[in-house]
Amino acid sequence: MVVKKVRPKRATLQDIAREAGVSITTVSYVLNGTGAVGAEMSKRIRATAKRMKYRANHSAKATRTGKTRTIGLILPDLTNPFFPLLAQSIQQSANEADYAVFLVDACNSVDGERVGAQDLLARGTDGIIWCPTSGSDSLAALRDEIPIVVVDRPMPDYDSVAADAYEGARQLACHLVEMGHTHVGVVTGPLTLASAQARCDGFVDHFNGPASVDWRVENPFSIHLTDATRECLRNSRSTAIVCGNDLIALGVMRFLHESGLRIPDDVSVVGFDDISWASFTTPNLTTVRQPFSALGKKAFELLARRMDGDDSPRTLLRLDMSVASRDSLRRI
């Protein structure tokens, strides 16, 4: 026979008012930070609430105000360490503003994005921050129902916050030229994504003069390399391999190591994003640093303005990037 544990009833404002010998309104003023209540009375009410283990009922507050003080965060793939870093930054900013975050892992699926967004809407979230899986606008039907801010991968018809990938790639191209590299291979990310295309264009457009791109191949943003990528690496005579993100770079480094090549003595490798793993590889990875903290902060701030009714024209906010030069790139 299963014996069910009887949990104590949660304390309410009425319970605290009765215990403290004051009105419910006075308790509400103190615990919600509204109204004017004397210091001694406030101290007594807070002590009573703590002793009775009072917890605010956000569902009840949402019924009164029409706001749940929750947001949704839809990310493409939580196995990619870029996205937990981004999620942490967004959650910190949301928590500071007393918002909770519902997280959706779309598992690299457009349908996963769409279903996740519908679920967030059904749960009453006040707004959504979205990093798209692809160039497909899977949330188009919801644009007029709920504020949505796109982060990292800008989309038309949405407020967007992203690092300036083109400029970051330009800096990387100039850095490789300064380090003496004139022949490189490029492993891009999926070029259906505007951010991946910007990384590719920014590098190729500025790796010029005596320098040239020997070959170029497209690969998912993954440590797993396609057969085409492996074939390019196998036949490469380039002095450096430029990768569309750090996960691709880690996959390239592993393949080169398994092929008997030394990094950077035989060939240099560079990435993009500066995920936490980049500084722990051997050798540690030269890459382009994403402003993770600023991305999350600015995306939440923009969403908060929209949730408060700001109807100014849509915004595309670009943030600065910088090269993190480490041991996987050698001077020649």
* pLDDT digit string, tens, across residues 252-305: 999 999 999 999 999 999 999 999 999 999 999 999 999 999 999 999 999 999
Residue 90 β-bridge partners: none
Looking at residue 155, what is its pLDDT? 92
* pLDDT at residue 119 greater than cutoff 90: yes
* pLDDT at residue 63 greater than cutoff 80: no
The per-residue pLDDT for range 183-200, each reduced to its tens digit, is: 999 999 999 999 999 999
Task: Report residue 326's pLDDT band, with 50, 70 and 90 as the boundaries.
Answer: very high
The C-alpha atoms of residue 284 and residue 205 are separated, in whole angstroms, by 27
Give me the domains of the chain, ranges plus CATH numbers.
Answer: 13-56 (1.10.260.40), 69-163+292-322 (3.40.50.2300), 165-290 (3.40.50.2300)
Looking at residue 37, what is its pLDDT? 87
Looking at residue 39, what is its pLDDT? 87
Mean pLDDT along residues 246-252: 98
Looking at residue 3, what is its pLDDT? 59
Query: Across the chain, where does the E strand assignment appear?
Result: 70-75, 100-105, 127-130, 148-151, 159-163, 183-188, 212-218, 240-243, 268-270, 287-289, 316-319, 322-324
The per-residue pLDDT for range 136-183, each reduced to its tens digit, is: 999 999 999 999 999 999 999 999 999 999 999 999 999 999 999 999
* pLDDT at residue 221 greater than cutoff 60: yes
Q: Which is higher by pLDDT, 67 or 280?
A: 280
Looking at residue 210, what is its pLDDT? 84
pTM of this prediction exceeds 0.75: yes
* pLDDT at residue 2 greater than cutoff 70: no
Looking at residue 62, what is its pLDDT? 60
CA dihedral 82, 83, 86, 92 (to 10 degrees): -130
Residue 273 β-bridge partners: 289
Looking at residue 52, what is its pLDDT? 86
Task: Report residue 11's pLDDT band, with 50, 70 and 90 as the boundaries.
Answer: confident
> Taking all residues of the chain, what is their mean pLDDT, rounded to a whole number?
93
104 to 73, 84, 252: CA distances (angstroms)? 6, 12, 29
Mean pLDDT along residues 199-213: 93
Looking at residue 35, what is its pLDDT? 76
